[in-house]
Amino acid sequence: MGERQSDGGLAGRASRHALLDSEVEALIAASLIRDGVDAEAEQRAVAAFRAARDDGAHRTRTRLRDDWRPRERRRYLGLSLRTTLGVLFASLTLGGVAVAAIGAAGSPADGPDDGRGHPPATSGTPSDPARTPSRGGDPGRPSGTATGSAPTRPDRPAPAQDTEAHCRAYQQVEGRGRAMDATAWQRLVDAAGGERNVTRYCAAQLERSTPEPKPTQSGGSENSGASENSGTSGNKGSGENNGTDKGQDKSTPARPNGRSQ
């Protein structure tokens, strides 16, 4: 500060002598904040508090403007360019991955797709089971995702593949931007049965969809090539309960073995 002033003595004016922000802040705070409170004013406030408390006024509902918990504040921060870009990026990513999944599923999986494209027998299954979060957790129950709505839209990738693609996208965009706004994302949340379940649901999905060496080799070795074939095409060949409905024509006996090991 001293040298600044000696400078100033020579050169003169304001522009040369802008203070640091912290100095201004300290000066303003020191000037405007007076320590200590007026006892009388405090008594009035406390009396008002007492009256309100005794009237039961304090048992009132919290309005939005009364909620100052930190989460709220952070959400407030998010109204920015970054958010917009995040949503754009997420939707592009989700879309791109979904397209890639269609391409990948189309070619190598022709065989199993045939077997799987028309299980009309199971088309009556309501699609609701697909929305239950316990889908992967209950091995005894036939899973509805793959069969529930696939027959109604033969030109689209099965919803399970959709889901898988979304799960992959989710892992990629996780923590960046607000992918939550994308429609595809909402579908994934529905399928998982709630936002909180998405991570677990996706973990189950992806685990199921990646070809597992152990069941294929041990259980599938006694088996025909059908199970390995399906293993290459995403979630269809996975050793889990997807097999219960669609795998009946191919490798029913092998599946339970593979799973039990």
Partner 1 sequence: MQAHDGELGAAVARAQQGDEAAFAVAYRIVQPALLGYLRGIVGDDAEDVASDAWLEIARDLGRFKGDGAGFRGWTATIARHRALDHLRRQRVRPRSSALEQDVLELPGPQSTHEQALEAMSTEHALELVRGLPRDQAEAVLLRVVVGLDGPAAARVLGKRPGAVRTAAYRGLKRLAGQLGAESVTDDAPRTLGEST
Q: Rule CB under 8 A: which residues touch partner 1?
A: 1, 5, 8-9, 12-21, 23-38, 41-42, 44-46, 48-53, 57-63, 65-70, 73-74, 76-77, 79-80
When the beta carbons of 20 and 99 are compared against partner 1, the nearer one is 20
- Shortest approach of partner 1 to residue 174 CB, angstroms? 24
Two structure tokens written together for 192: 């998982």
Cα 84 to Cα 93, 128, 155, 168, 189, distances in angstroms: 14, 33, 32, 21, 21
- Shortest approach of partner 1 to residue 20 CB, angstroms? 7
- Shortest approach of partner 1 to residue 88 CB, angstroms? 19
Please check whether residue 144 is in contact with residue 129, taking contact to mean a CB–CB distance below 8 angstroms.
Answer: yes
In whole angstroms, give the CA distance from residue 181 to residue 200: 20
Q: Which residue has 């960046």 as its token pair?
A: 176
When the beta carbons of 52 and 99 are compared against partner 1, the nearer one is 52
Two structure tokens written together for 133: 């979060």
- Shortest approach of partner 1 to residue 36 CB, angstroms? 7
Helix H or strand E segment including 131: helix 128-131
DSSP classification of residue 241? T
When the beta carbons of 34 and 128 are compared against partner 1, the nearer one is 34
DSSP state letters, 80-94:
SHHHHHHHHHHHHHH
Kindly report each contact of residues 79-83 with a partner whose C-beta sits within 8 Å and lies 24 or more positions away, as own/partner.
Answer: 82/177, 83/177, 83/178
- Shortest approach of partner 1 to residue 87 CB, angstroms? 18
166, 167, 129, 169: which is closest to 146 by C-alpha?
Answer: 129
In whole angstroms, give the CA distance from residue 194 to residue 106: 30
- Shortest approach of partner 1 to residue 128 CB, angstroms? 37
- Shortest approach of partner 1 to residue 180 CB, angstroms? 20
When the beta carbons of 70 and 124 are compared against partner 1, the nearer one is 70
For 94, residues 6+ apart whose C-beta sits below 8 A from its C-beta are 165, 166, 169, 173, 179, 182, 184, 185
When the beta carbons of 32 and 128 are compared against partner 1, the nearer one is 32
When the beta carbons of 69 and 183 are compared against partner 1, the nearer one is 69
When the beta carbons of 52 and 92 are compared against partner 1, the nearer one is 52
